[in-house]
Amino acid sequence: MDNRHKLRNLPKIDELVMRLERLHEVYGKDMVTTSCREIIDEMRSTLLSGGDCDVAPQAVEMAVENKLQAIYAPHLHSVINATGVVLHTNLGRAVLSERAARAAYMAARSYSNLEYDIEKGARGSRYSHIEKLLCRLTGAESAMVVNNNAAAVMLILSTMAKGHEVVCSRGELVEIGGAFRVPEIMAQSGGTLVEVGTTNKTHLSDYVNAVNENTGAFLKVHTSNFKVVGFTEEVSLEDMVRVGHERNIPVIYDLGSGLMCDLSDLGICDEPKVLEAMKTGVDVLSFSGDKLLGGPQAGIIVGKKEYIDRMKKNPLTRAFRVDKMTFAALEETMRSYLGSSCEKDIPTIAMIRRPVEELDLRAKKLKKLLTGINGVTSAVMREKSQVGGGSVPGEFLDTRAVWVEIKDLSAAATEEKLRKEYSIICRVAKDRVVFDVRTLLDGDDKKIAEAIRNISEGK
């Protein structure tokens, strides 16, 4: 049958809609009609351009039904992270604790006192729910939360630097992704960037010599996504604060990752901690909620009350504000830091801290589940994990993984099937798929084994 015959055999829209009456109750007649029209248009376009498609009645009906299912299927869904990267930016970074996820769910499922003061029976501030807790944990005078750390830096500079000069080391003019660069943020904020030092070396005297009557602030940026090694020198936050306060110049610190606990026993020593930074007397500090803090995406600002009060009145604050679910999840995340439960309650910290002995047992359990599957070869291997999320560059964690080969199927083909059909994200090395068990959640090993079995059996 040539394309002219196929074009003539394309069903009429109203007839196709009638034949698909069984779908009206599920998707609504209007949506079914729209999908029918789109499928017919797509098929006509394909045929007119010289392509080919099946125009048999059953094939067309199936195409419409598949389109409707795709429209109504949730696009954002769970995946299995078998990469070993704990804070995988492409996979949503931090996994929330059960308490934090439950709090977000409850906030979403009901009305809340988000901006209502129950004691006074009047309008309240959404920041009051988290501000006291953040101040208690960090020792800050005041605190607020915006939708991510990039927004936090923008708000800080827009409030404190507009019309003034801000001194920053050339070695700290980072790009954090998506062409979001410190100089461009500065330009948007209305401040003037004054670069000092060189890429690899900046001295305290560079900051001192840059000071004039229009200096609005010193800015320190933690280079969390790269590391310069060799002949290097940077000015400590303590020295910047001392010199800044001597000259009545506020110091801003974009810390980034939000580490609140000690990981030095794992060799993670260069990542700055929120509490240690606050002890220097820094005026304003910002960090992320969904990196090493282990909470929801948020930009957390803590510091001197006089500056944060001004930020709360900045028009940008409304554009950058977070919703009730974020506040609820962040509050529960921060509560885990009040005691000593963060290392077991917060999945990010728990994953980073998983001992090799536990990882070895997890890997052997996965290997056992794979044993006996026809055409599958597997073994436990030593590997390295990454913290990820633009944190701790160059630091790797000893881990255990399981490599898998499926007879007559390449690693690339296996990886594609795992990703597309089962939402399992893994690595490929030496023509084998590799599952790092550090980032597997409870039950993920059984899902991986089931997927491998189905792929091997051609299901």
CATH label of the domain that carries residue 449? 3.90.1150.180
Which amino acid is it at 273? K
Phi-psi category of residue 34: left, alpha or beta, with phi > 0 → left and psi -120 to 50 → alpha: alpha
Which amino acid is it at 164? H
Lookup: tokens for 138: 């960090």
165 and 245: one domain?
yes
- Residue 179's pLDDT is what? 60
CA 118 to chain centre: 34
339 and 354: one domain?
no
In a domain, 291, yes or no: yes
Among 345, 368, 401, give the residue marking a domain's end. 345
Residues in CB range of 356: below 8 A, 6 or more apart? 398, 399, 400
- Residue 182's pLDDT is what? 78
- Residue 388's pLDDT is what? 87
Q: Using an 8 Å Cβ cutoff, are 282 and 251 in contact?
A: yes
* CA dist., res. 80 & res. 451, Å (int): 12
206 and 354: one domain?
no
299 and 377: one domain?
no
406 and 380: one domain?
yes
* CA dist., res. 274 & res. 136, Å (int): 13
142 and 209: one domain?
yes
The CATH number covering residue 207 comes to 3.40.640.10
260 and 356: one domain?
no
Residues in CB range of 142: below 8 A, 6 or more apart? 131, 135, 302, 303, 304, 305, 308, 309
pTM: 0.89
- Residue 451's pLDDT is what? 97
396 and 451: one domain?
yes
Q: Using an 8 Å Cβ cutoff, are 456 and 374 in contact?
A: yes
Lookup: tokens for 424: 């399992």
The number of domains in the chain is: 3
- Residue 228's pLDDT is what? 67
237 and 314: one domain?
yes
- Residue 304's pLDDT is what? 97
CB atoms within 10 A of CB 185: 20
Listed in sequence order, the DSSP H helices in 171-236 are 182-189, 204-210
* CA dist., res. 293 & res. 253, Å (int): 17
Query: Do you know the residue count of the chain?
Result: 459
Q: Using an 8 Å Cβ cutoff, are 191 and 182 in contact?
A: no
* CA dist., res. 330 & res. 348, Å (int): 14
Q: What is the CA radius of gyration of the chain?
A: 27
pLDDT tens for each residue of the chain, 459 residues long: 578 888 998 999 999 999 999 999 999 999 999 999 999 999 999 999 989 999 999 999 999 999 999 999 888 899 999 999 999 999 999 999 999 999 999 999 999 999 998 989 999 888 888 999 999 999 999 999 999 998 999 999 999 998 999 999 988 887 765 567 777 888 888 889 899 988 888 999 999 999 999 999 999 998 866 666 667 788 899 999 999 999 999 999 999 888 998 888 887 877 889 999 999 999 999 999 999 999 999 999 999 999 999 999 999 999 999 999 999 999 999 999 987 778 889 999 999 999 999 999 999 999 999 998 999 999 999 999 999 877 777 778 999 999 999 999 999 999 999 999 999 999 999 999 999 999 999 999 999 999 999 999 986
341 and 388: one domain?
no
In a domain, 403, yes or no: yes
Phi-psi category of residue 389: left, alpha or beta, with phi > 0 → left and psi -120 to 50 → alpha: left
Sign of the C-alpha dihedral computed for residues 325, 327, 333 and 335 taken in this order: negative
Intra-chain end-to-end CA distance of the chain, in Å: 32
In a domain, 92, yes or no: no
- Residue 188's pLDDT is what? 83
CB atoms within 10 A of CB 142: 20
- Residue 64's pLDDT is what? 96
Largest CA distance in the chain: 87
Which amino acid is it at 146? V
Q: Is 302 helix (H, G, I), strand (E, B) or coil?
A: strand
Burial class (CB in 10 A: 0-12, 13-18, 19+), 4: exposed
- Domain extent at residue 422: 80-87+350-456
65 and 197: one domain?
no
